Amino acid sequence: ETGVTQSPTHLIKTRGQQVTLRCSSQSGHNTVSWYQQALGQGPQFIFQYYREEENGRGNFPPRFSGLQFPNYSSELNVNALELDDSALYLCASSSRVWNTEAFFGQGTRLTVV
């Protein structure tokens, strides 16, 4: 069991709506990354947050945005939901120290109908 928790575990939204997913990082970690995992695929990097600032982004449009709070927890916001946004959203917690592990939460399963 990692100390990384995500909420909610499941979510159903309608196309065009907005959604907020939450992640609390493991104790001692100051970096949170978000990944999208479509069915049957590996996770794809969305972005990383460090010291409350976005610190790298993958190939995702601006309607995917995030926040990191002073306690290092993080939110992922997705606006104008599309059917293709249906996926498992994973957050990963790590430190800035090179070659140390990234630990993942259990994920949020988002279904867009």
Question: Residue 83 or residue 97: which is nearer to other proteins going by CB?
Answer: 97
Question: Residue 31 or residue 80: which is nearer to other proteins going by CB?
Answer: 31
Question: Residue 12 or residue 80: which is nearer to other proteins going by CB?
Answer: 12
CB of 80 vs other proteins, minimal distance in Å = 23
Binding residues for other proteins (CB under 8 A): 2, 4, 6, 31, 33, 35, 39-45, 48, 50, 55-56, 58-59, 88, 90, 92, 94-107, 109
Rg (CA), the chain: 13
Strand boundaries in 25-78, DSSP class E: 31-37, 44-50, 53-57, 64-68, 74-78
Q: Which residues pair with 74 in a beta bridge?
A: 23, 68
Cα–Cα distance list, 57 to 9, 61, 71, 85, 93 (Å):
24, 10, 21, 17, 16
CB of 88 vs other proteins, minimal distance in Å = 6
CB of 38 vs other proteins, minimal distance in Å = 10
The answer to whether 46 touches 57, Cβ cutoff 8 Å, is yes
CB of 81 vs other proteins, minimal distance in Å = 20
Question: Residue 69 or residue 103: which is nearer to other proteins going by CB?
Answer: 103
